[in-house]
């Protein structure tokens, strides 16, 4: 495995509990995007009530990261198949009262490994990896929820976007 890559920009978004991640991630030497992927492990326990909840998520495995455009050291590749795992961690404190549509922002950290191939590794030999890096980053997660009205709210998950910062 080559050197570690620090993502300093971009985002990874998931809409709905059954949605797969869409991402655009940037570092000084690597840009990766995808066209969607299978759902990952997103264990937010929603619907949930007030209190501290995890915003942990793991995207990995067969089609968990999908495929898309990549720029590697300045060279463009229109279709790259991704393998590896992106592991997000963080917590969010939900209030005891909120409007029906509610947004909250919380810090996160991400660590993992990411590989890219010109051939789909899930249907045959992919050939040599275009890149194989440990990856990490951090930033602010924007969590979109709906809240029941009246009494103590119950929150339902709508969308989360992990925004990477320098």
Task: Report the percentage of the chain scoring pLDDT > 70.
Answer: 93
Q: Tell me the per-residue pLDDT of 79-118, one tens digit each, with 9 for 90 and over.
A: 999 999 999 999 999 888 888 888 999 999 999 999 999 9
Q: Tell me the per-residue pLDDT of 31-53, one tens digit each, with 9 for 90 and over.
A: 999 987 887 666 555 668 888 98
What's the domain count of the chain?
1
Residue-number span of the structural domain to which 80 is assigned: 4-164
Q: Which of 36, 23, 90, 43 is nearest to 64 (CA)?
A: 36
């Amino acid at each position: 495995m080559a050197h570690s890559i620090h993502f300093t920009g971009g985002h990874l978004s998931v809409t709905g509990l059954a949605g797969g991640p869409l991402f655009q991630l940037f570092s000084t030497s690597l840009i990766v995007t995808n066209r969607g992927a299978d759902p990952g492990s997103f264990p937010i326990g929603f619907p949930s009530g007030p209190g501290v909840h995890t915003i942990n998520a793991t995207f990995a495995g067969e089609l968990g990261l999908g495929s898309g455009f990549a720029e590697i050291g300045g060279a463009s590749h229109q279709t790259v198949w991704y393998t590896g795992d992106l592991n997000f961690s963080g917590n969010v404190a939900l209030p005891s009262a909120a409007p029906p549509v509610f947004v909250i922002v919380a810090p996160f950290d991400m660590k993992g490994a990411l590989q890219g191939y010109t051939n789909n590794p899930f249907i045959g030999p992919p050939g040599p990896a275009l890149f194989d890096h440990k990856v990490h980053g951090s930033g602010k997660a924007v969590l979109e929820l709906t809240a029941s009205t009246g009494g103590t709210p119950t929150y339902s998950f709508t969308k989360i976007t992990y925004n990477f910062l320098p």
